[in-house]
Protein backbone atom coordinates (compact mmCIF):
# COMPACT_ATOMS: atom_id res chain seq x y z
CA UNK A 1 0.00 0.00 0.00
CA UNK A 2 1.51 3.31 -1.05
CA UNK A 3 1.37 6.44 1.03
CA UNK A 4 1.19 9.62 -1.08
CA UNK A 5 2.24 11.85 1.83
CA UNK A 6 5.02 9.57 2.99
CA UNK A 7 7.11 10.02 6.10
CA UNK A 8 10.78 9.09 5.79
CA UNK A 9 10.71 6.04 8.05
CA UNK A 10 12.56 3.72 5.67
CA UNK A 11 15.89 4.89 4.25
CA UNK A 12 16.54 3.53 0.75
CA UNK A 13 19.16 4.15 -1.92
CA UNK A 14 17.77 1.79 -4.59
CA UNK A 15 17.02 4.37 -7.26
CA UNK A 16 15.57 1.91 -9.78
CA UNK A 17 12.75 0.88 -7.40
CA UNK A 18 9.27 2.25 -8.14
CA UNK A 19 8.85 3.17 -4.45
CA UNK A 20 12.08 5.19 -4.19
CA UNK A 21 11.68 8.85 -3.22
CA UNK A 22 14.80 10.51 -4.65
CA UNK A 23 14.82 13.82 -2.77
CA UNK A 24 15.23 12.14 0.62
CA UNK A 25 16.43 8.64 -0.36
CA UNK A 26 13.36 7.12 1.25
CA UNK A 27 10.71 4.52 0.49
CA UNK A 28 7.16 5.70 -0.21
CA UNK A 29 5.58 2.57 1.27
CA UNK A 30 4.02 2.52 4.76
CA UNK A 31 5.75 -0.79 5.39
CA UNK A 32 8.13 -3.09 3.55
CA UNK A 33 8.70 -6.84 3.51
CA UNK A 34 12.23 -8.04 4.22
CA UNK A 35 13.19 -11.55 3.21
CA UNK A 36 16.21 -13.82 3.51
CA UNK A 37 18.40 -14.95 0.62
CA UNK A 38 20.40 -17.33 2.82
CA UNK A 39 19.07 -19.93 5.21
CA UNK A 40 20.94 -18.29 8.12
CA UNK A 41 21.91 -14.72 7.17
CA UNK A 42 24.77 -13.18 9.12
CA UNK A 43 24.92 -9.83 7.30
CA UNK A 44 22.73 -7.57 5.20
CA UNK A 45 23.98 -9.43 2.09
CA UNK A 46 21.80 -12.34 3.22
CA UNK A 47 18.60 -10.27 3.12
CA UNK A 48 16.56 -8.47 0.48
CA UNK A 49 13.63 -6.08 0.22
CA UNK A 50 10.62 -8.14 -0.77
CA UNK A 51 8.68 -4.97 -1.62
CA UNK A 52 11.03 -3.96 -4.47
CA UNK A 53 9.32 -3.18 -7.79
CA UNK A 54 11.29 -2.16 -10.87
CA UNK A 55 10.46 1.31 -12.20
Domain residue ranges in the chain: 1-55
Residue 13 C-beta-side C-alpha neighbours within 13 Å: 0
37-54 pLDDT, tens digit each: 888 888 888 889 999 999
12, with CB counted inside 10 A (0-12, 13-18, 19+), is: buried
16-26 pLDDT, tens digit each: 999 999 988 99
Q: What is the pTM of this model?
A: 0.71
**How many whole angstroms separate alpha carbon 49 and alpha carbon 47?**
7
Beta carbons within 8 Å of 42's beta carbon, 6+ residues apart: none
pLDDT tops 80 at residue 2: no
Amino acid sequence: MENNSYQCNVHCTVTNCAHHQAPKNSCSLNQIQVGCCDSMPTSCKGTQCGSFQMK
